[in-house]
Amino acid sequence: MSKGGAENANILSALERLARLMRAGEHGGGLNPAQWEALRYLSRANRFSNSPVALARFLGSTKGTVSQTIKALHRKGYILKAAREGEKRSIALSLTDTGREMLGIDPLAEFSKSIDGLRGKTARRLDKGLSKLLAAELARTKQPGFGVCATCRNFRGENGSYHCAFFEAALSDDDAGMICVEHST
Ligand code: SF4
């Protein structure tokens, strides 16, 4: 096997095992991995992206599966469902205080401690490499990137005032730092 082939096999094997370990650890607090992912997503999604459809796109899941996840989180009191202003048939999802508190015991926090242990150049290289790999996979599978406003071509900002050319809406500092289903580079 070529050097590149061996490296690729090592990287694939490490990613596969890491993904499995991360998923296996995500059953704490009475939630399953999809429910944890949904809570994390809703804590980071901007006001244009807090819908069941956007959540399904982020999770790469079907509407039916996401609907079960939303029902379970709603029943447990971790999320609120509200009618979206001006759009009768669209639902806006948000975390309740209890939902936010749950994120304080996120099982992935333990994994984050291992990342802390990398530090310096290794952490920076890993960050860059994984970001490139993820971007390539998203492009190959034609899935949305869910980036933040600062790296979006629709972002307009000057003198501390921000605007989205896609949604034709003003953006606050908080909005600009959250992920968006319509992010485009
Ligand atoms: S600027 Fe881009 S990322 Fe920000 S809200 Fe508009 S479309 Fe979404």
The answer to whether residue 72 is domain-embedded is: yes
User: Which numbered atom of ligand 1 lies nearest the CA of 153?
Assistant: 2
CATH number at residue 83: 1.10.10.10
> Residue 182: inside a domain, yes or no?
no
Task: Report yes or no on 10 lying in a domain.
Answer: yes
* Domains: count for the chain: 1
- Which contacts (CB < 8 Å, 24+ apart) does range 73-79 have? 73/31, 73/35, 73/38, 73/39, 73/99, 76/30, 76/31, 78/39, 78/102, 79/38, 79/39, 79/42
Least confident range from 96-100, 110-114, 123-127, 137-141: namely 110-114
Determine, yes or no, domain membership for 91.
yes
In a domain, 137, yes or no: no
Check pocket membership of 152 for ligand 1, CB cut-off 6 A: yes
3-class DSSP assignment, residue 27: coil
Q: Phi/psi class of residue 98: alpha, beta or left (left: φ > 0; alpha: ψ in -120 to 50)?
A: alpha
What is the predicted pLDDT for the residue at 2?
67
Q: pLDDT, tens digit, for every residue of 37-68?
A: 999 999 999 999 999 999 999 998 999 999 99
pTM of the model: 0.87
Show the domain range for 85. 3-117
- The per-residue pLDDT for 146 is 92
